[in-house]
Amino acid sequence: MSETDLTSTGFVAALDRDDPLAPFRDRFFYPEGKIYLLGNSLGLMPKAARASIERVTGEWEQLAIDGWMHGNPPWFWLAERLGERMAPLMGAEAEEVIATGTTTVNLHALTAAFYEPKGRRTKILTDSLAFPSDAFALQGQVRLHGLDPAEHLVLIPNQLEILTDEAIAATLTGEVALVVLPAVVYRSGQRLDIQKWTRLAHNRGILVGVDCSHAAGIVPHRLHDWEVDFAVWCGYKYLNGGPGCSAFLFVHRRHFHRTAPLAGWFGSKKEKQFTMSLDLDKQETAGGWQISSPGIIGSVSLEASLATIQAAGGISPLREKSLRLTGYLIDLADRLLSANRYGISVVTPRQPERRGGHVALRCGADGLAIAQALKSRGVIVDFRAPDLIRLAPSPLYNTFSETRKAVLVLKEIIDSGAHEPFRSQRPLVT
Ligand SMILES: *Cc1c(COP(=O)(O)O)cnc(C)c1O
């Protein structure tokens, strides 16, 4: 395909015309006049979320305490209902998933349950590109055992933002008790073969936790069949649940009997919770790892967003369009931005099965200034130090034309030097 074909409005208009998910854009509040490419950071608000939230606030107003049992549906089982809806997107059984807490808290709760340093097997393995909050949680869990994270939290080394198969395989040693891997690396967008690493880790006597925050709602999983031991993910990224909404956790059925060291009363069997006994009778499902009362107002939006994904046909059509969007983005960046004068290169793996839902461009020393210039022109992307710009088109609400426009605006910014005035500014949230 020639360059003019790929970048022409005719070419891209045809892609949009043939897109079966195109009608779904209308189900979201899309920021007027912007190109929103941050579905991996904060997904847009589904229009149906407003009705869900208003229903619950109305129930609070009218029913007060009775909302727990007589809300429609009752609040008491909201976490389980959301888990049930979420489960098929992750290849999990309904009882293996619960909506609860937040990602970092859930990672703490499950690491506390699954990390049991013994004998010479005392270490947690994670990757050197880990999301800082995950690394902080794992450091804290190591310290709770009286161990030093400098020695007992091992980091898989990376090569220019990529975790190689050799590096992962070499670090899964007999000293590792638990490995926590990202399903998709939040920086580069690299997707790991969780099935393969789970099998290898299990063969070597290592338990496996997966952070699916940058993968849930955009990449298919088979958490149950892959025999992943536990997983966590947020609700506000590709799942569009809203800022700070409930997160999710997965515990494989074969571990339902394990204890929940960070116990709380919402982990009780439902029928026992209000006996007020001081002996916890833990649910023998993922629900057993709940700690506190679920934030009903903050979680009910997920009901609307999960229903929207369901209406779109579930995870397969989303993944299919997402791969086409990111593939197109990568092709455009290669053709338009790879010349020396732009100093931009694609970091994200090119093989479809090796990438998640976003594309990362290495942008050199001007990365932050370029990201800000893009934002000032209505192209909403983010920047991850030291030099990555991330673009995350959502298959639910982004078009091929928008991805084309974003790359053209980026090119034009560098051509004209429009980013230069931003060089001295450093915002608090990037
Ligand atoms: C977004 C994200 C988080 C966020 O954690 P919160 O507890 O929701 O603030 C944690 N880990 C990863 C890998 C993420 O992508």
CB 391 within 8 A of CB 406: yes
Q: For residues 230-242, give the mean pLDDT.
A: 98
CB 402 within 8 A of CB 22: no
Band of residue 33 on the pLDDT scale cut at 50, 70, 90: very high
Residue of 138, 40, 89 lying closest to 307 (CA atoms): 89
- The answer to whether residue 2 scores a pLDDT higher than 90 is no
Ligand 1 pocket test: pick from 139, 180, 213 the residue with the most ligand atoms within 8 Å of its Cβ. 213
- Predicted confidence at residue 427, as pLDDT, reads 77
- Measured in angstroms, how far is the CA atom of residue 133 from the centroid of ligand 1? 7
Q: For residues 78-95, give the mean pLDDT.
A: 98
Nearest protein CA to atom 2 of ligand 1, as residue: 213
- Predicted confidence at residue 426, as pLDDT, reads 75
Of 103-107, 113-117, 303-307, 423-427, the poorest mean pLDDT is in: 423-427
Evaluate: CB of 382 within 6 angstroms of ligand 1.
no
Cα distance from N-terminal residue to C-terminal residue, the chain: 36
Cis peptide before 157 (omega within 30 of 0): no
pLDDT above 90 covers what percent of the chain?
95
> Based on the number of CB atoms within 10 Å of its own CB, is 25 exposed (0-12), middle (13-18) or buried (19 or more)?
middle
- Measured in angstroms, how far is the CA atom of residue 239 from the centroid of ligand 1? 13
How high does pLDDT run on average in the chain? 96
The pLDDT tens digits of the residues spanning 166-223 come to: 999 999 999 999 999 999 999 999 999 999 999 999 999 999 999 999 999 999 999 9
- β pairing state of 176-182 and 207-211: parallel
pLDDT above 70 covers what percent of the chain?
99
The pLDDT tens digits of the residues spanning 252-302 come to: 999 999 999 999 999 999 999 898 899 999 999 999 999 999 999 999 999
- Measured in angstroms, how far is the CA atom of residue 407 from the centroid of ligand 1? 27
Ranges of beta strands (E only) in 252-378 are 345-346, 359-362
- Predicted confidence at residue 430, as pLDDT, reads 76
Angle at 344 between CA 342 and CA 347, to 5 degrees: 170
- Reported pTM: 0.97
> Which contiguous run of DSSP H or E holds residue 207?
strand 207-211
- The answer to whether residue 99 scores a pLDDT higher than 70 is yes
Which residues are CB-contacts of 295 (< 8 A; sequence separation ≥ 6)?
Answer: 245, 246
- Predicted confidence at residue 424, as pLDDT, reads 84
Q: Which residues are tagged catalytic?
A: 131, 211, 236-237, 390
Evaluate: CB of 102 within 6 angstroms of ligand 1.
yes
- Predicted confidence at residue 428, as pLDDT, reads 77
- Predicted confidence at residue 366, as pLDDT, reads 93
Residue 90 tokens, joined: 């992750």
Band of residue 71 on the pLDDT scale cut at 50, 70, 90: very high
Q: For residues 328-341, give the mean pLDDT.
A: 95
Domains and CATH numbers, the chain: 3-30+313-422 (3.90.1150.10), 52-310 (3.40.640.10)
Evaluate: CB of 52 within 6 angstroms of ligand 1.
no
- Predicted confidence at residue 4, as pLDDT, reads 58
